[in-house]
Amino acid sequence: MSQNLPHILLTGFDPFGGESINPSWEAVRFFDGRRIGGHRIIARQLPTEFAGSLRALKAAVREITPVMLLGVGQAGGRAQLSIERVAINVQDARIPDNAGVQPVDEPVIADGPAAYFSTLPIKAMLAALQAQGLPSEISQTAGTYVCNHIAYAMLHLASKRRGVRAGFIHIPYLPEQAAHQRGAASMAKADVVLALEIALRTAIATTVDRKLAAGAID
C-alpha cells in the first residue's frame, strides 16, 4: 500500500437476506489497489452486521487514514444508482443482521447528532453519471438498516478528521439476483463499476458542488 498517495476507503458488504452475493462487494472489489485521480483506492468488505461493520470500519480508518470514504450498498428494488444525501442516527431493522441482531429504534452513535449530510459533491456526481447515460438519482433516505448505519458512521468519523469527506451510494441488484426476484430492477456489474469510477473521479475533482434541482416531492 503506497504511502505516497492519499487513500480513499471504498467499502461494500457481504451477502445478506438469503442472497449468495452482494453487488456492492462484487463491484467495489474491482477497485482495490487502483489509482484514480492521484489517489489510491483501498477496498474493504464489511460484514452486514451492525456492530461488526462498525468495528471493521473503524479498524480500516485507523489502518489507512483515508482522505475520503465512500460506502456502497445493495438496495434491492431500486432501479437506479442512488447517491445518498443524508444518513440518520437511527437503527430500526426489519430483519436481523447476519449476526442475528435486530435493533429497533436505537441510535447508531449514542451521543451523535440526529443526522449527517453527505460531504461529497452529490449533485456533481449525479450530473456526471447522467451524462454517461447511467440511471441515477439523489436519494433522500438510506433506510434504517446496516447501510444507513455505516453511512452515518462514516460521516461521524469523517467529521472528527480535518478535510476528510464521506458519502454513500446504493446500487440495484445484479441481473443474476433479479432473475430470482419477480419484476425486480437490476444493473449490470460493468455499469456499476463504471458508475463508481465516475463518482470517485468527480468527488476527487470537485470541491464545490453544483447547484442542480434533484429533490423529491414524495
Q: Is 170 a catalytic residue?
A: yes
Q: In angstroms, rounded to a whole number, what is the distance separating the alpha carbons of residues 24 and 81?
A: 11
Catalytic residue selected from 39, 149, 156, 170: 170
Catalytic residue selected from 26, 84, 149, 156: 84
Catalytic residue selected from 26, 147, 149, 156: 147
Q: Is 39 a catalytic residue?
A: no
Which residues have a catalytic role annotated? Answer: 84, 147, 170
